[in-house]
C-alpha cells in the first residue's frame, strides 16, 4: 500500500558528475564485469537482484560516486557502503532496512540519499554530520516525528517524507536555510500551530493530512511557487494569502471550503487553482472566476 503514496523523484547529479561521459564510464550491474573492465568505475547498480548483502569486492572500486541498491532484501546498510568515500548519490529504496547506523557519518561526500519504502522508525543523529547533503528521500517508512537530525543540515535543499506517520514537526524547521522543496504529504499532521517554514521554500506539499488551519508562517513564504494542501480539513483560507506573491499553482481540492477571500485577486502570478471537491455554491464559483480572470480554476 505504501507504493500508492510513493512519488518517483529524479536524483540530481552535481554539475561535475553530470558531465561524466556515460559511454566512457557506464553504469555497471555486475561486480565481476566492473573489476575486469580495467576502467575507473563511477557508477554501479544492483537494482532488483534480490541481494541480502553487497559483494565485498565493491570496496576495491573506490571511485564510485553513484550506487543504486533498490529493490533488494537488505535488512541493514551493508558495511561495504561506508568504504566508498567518494559516494555522492546513494539509493536504497525498497528494502527492509530498519535503522541507519552510526557509520553513515563516514560518507562525507554524500549529496543525495534515498531510502524510501523501508522500515525506519527513527533517524540516526549522525546523519546531521553529512554537511554536503542536499537531497534526502525518506518516503513510506514508519517515522512519527520530523527527524531532528535534518534540522542540523543547513545544506539541504529537498526533503521528502511523504507517506509516514508524522504528527509532530519541530518549531526549528526554518533553520534549514537552503530548503527549496518540502514534501510532508500523506502523514498525520493536524495542528501546525505557529510553525515557521524555511524562507527559501518554493515547493510545499501537505496534502492527505488532517490539517484544519494553515499556519501564519506559511503566508510569509514570499518565494513559494507551488502549494498543495488538498485532502485536508481546511474550512477557510486567511486573507493573508495575498502575501504569496510568487505562487503559480495552488491545490486546495477536497477540503471544506465554502468560499475564498477576495485577496486571491492579488495573486497575479497564480496560473492554476484547483478547488474540486469543496462545498462551493454556484454563485461563489462565478464570483471567484470574476476576481481571477487570468487563473485557470478547476471546480
Whether 120 and 246 share a structural domain: no
Count of Cβ atoms closer than 10 Å to residue 29 Cβ: 15
Judge whether 8 lies within some domain. Answer: no
User: Please, what is the Cα angle at 197 between 196 and 199, to 5 degrees?
Assistant: 115
Is the domain of 135 the same as that of 180? no
Instruction: Identify the DSSP state of 287.
Output: H
Domain end, chosen from 96, 123, 142, is at 142
Structure confidence by residue, pLDDT tens digits, 256-280: 999 999 999 999 999 999 999 999 9
SS3 54: coil
Q: Is 125 in the same domain as 228?
A: no
How many domains would you assign to the chain? Answer: 2
230 and 127 in a single domain? The answer is: no
| CATH number of the domain residue 224 falls in | 3.80.10.10
Residue span of the structural domain in which 188 resides: 169-299
Residues 287 and 199 in one domain: yes
Residue ending a domain, choose from 107, 124, 142: 142
Q: What digits encode the pLDDT tens for the residues 186-237?
A: 999 999 999 999 999 999 999 999 999 999 999 999 999 999 999 999 999 9
Both 242 and 279 in a single domain? yes
Domain co-membership, 125 together with 181: no
Per-residue DSSP letters for 27-46?
Answer: EES-HHHHHHS-S---EEE-
pLDDT tens digit at each of 299 positions of the chain: 555 444 433 333 333 344 456 776 689 999 999 999 989 999 999 999 999 999 999 999 999 999 999 999 999 999 999 999 999 999 999 999 999 999 999 999 999 999 999 999 999 999 999 999 999 999 999 999 999 999 999 999 999 999 999 999 988 999 999 999 999 999 999 999 999 999 999 999 999 999 999 999 999 999 999 999 999 999 999 999 999 999 999 999 999 999 999 999 999 999 999 999 999 999 999 999 999 999 999 99
In sequence order, the β-bridge partners of residue 176 are none
| pTM passes above 0.85 | yes
276 shares a domain with 227 = yes
Whether residues 200 and 297 fall in one domain: yes
Residues 65 and 121 in one domain: yes
C-alpha cell at 205: 506539499
Does residue 106 sit in the same domain as residue 69? yes
In a domain, 111, yes or no: yes
Amino acid at each position: 500500500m505504501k507504493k500508492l503514496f510513493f512519488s518517483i523523484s529524479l536524483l540530481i547529479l552535481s554539475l561535475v558528475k553530470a558531465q561524466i561521459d556515460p559511454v566512457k564510464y557506464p553504469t555497471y550491474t555486475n561486480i565481476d564485469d566492473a573489476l575486469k573492465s580495467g576502467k575507473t568505475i563511477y557508477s554501479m547498480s544492483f537494482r532488483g537482484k534480490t541481494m541480502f548483502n553487497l559483494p565485498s569486492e565493491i570496496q576495491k572500486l573506490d571511485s564510485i560516486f553513484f550506487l543504486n541498491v533498490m529493490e533488494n532484501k537488505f535488512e541493514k546498510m551493508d558495511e561495504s557502503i561506508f568504504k566508498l568515500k567518494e559516494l555522492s548519490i546513494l539509493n536504497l529504496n525498497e528494502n527492509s532496512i530498519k535503522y541507519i547506523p552510526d557509520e553513515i557519518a563516514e560518507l562525507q561526500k554524500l549529496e543525495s540519499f534515498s531510502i524510501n519504502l523501508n522500515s525506519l522508525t527513527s533517524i540516526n543523529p549522525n546523519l546531521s554530520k553529512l554537511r554536503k547533503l542536499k537531497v534526502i528521500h525518506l518516503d513510506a517508512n514508519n517515522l512519527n516525528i520530523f527527524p531532528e537530525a535534518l534540522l542540523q543540515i543547513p545544506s539541504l535543499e529537498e526533503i521528502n517524507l511523504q507517506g509516514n506517520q508524522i504528527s509532530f514537526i519541530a518549531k526549528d524547521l526554518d533553520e534549514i536555510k537552503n530548503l527549496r522543496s518540502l514534501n510532508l504529504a500523506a502523514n498525520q499532521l493536524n495542528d501546525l500551530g505557529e510553525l515557521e517554514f524555511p524562507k527559501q521554500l518554493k515547493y510545499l506539499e501537505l496534502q492527505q493530512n488532517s490539517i484544519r488551519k494553515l499556519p501564519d508562517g506559511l503566508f510569509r513564504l514570499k518565494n513559494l511557487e507551488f502549494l498543495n494542501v488538498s485532502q485536508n480539513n481546511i474550512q477557510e483560507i486567511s486573507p493573508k494569502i495575498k502575501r504569496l506573491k510568487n505562487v503559480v499553482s495552488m491545490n486546495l481540492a477536497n477540503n471544506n471550503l465554502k468560499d475564498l477571500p477576495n485577496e486571491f485577486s492579488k495573486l497575479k502570478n497564480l496560473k492554476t487553482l484547483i478547488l474540486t471537491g469543496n462545498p462551493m455554491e454556484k454563485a461563489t464559483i462565478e464570483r471567484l472566476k470574476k476576481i481571477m480572470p487570468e487563473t485557470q480554476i478547476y471546480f
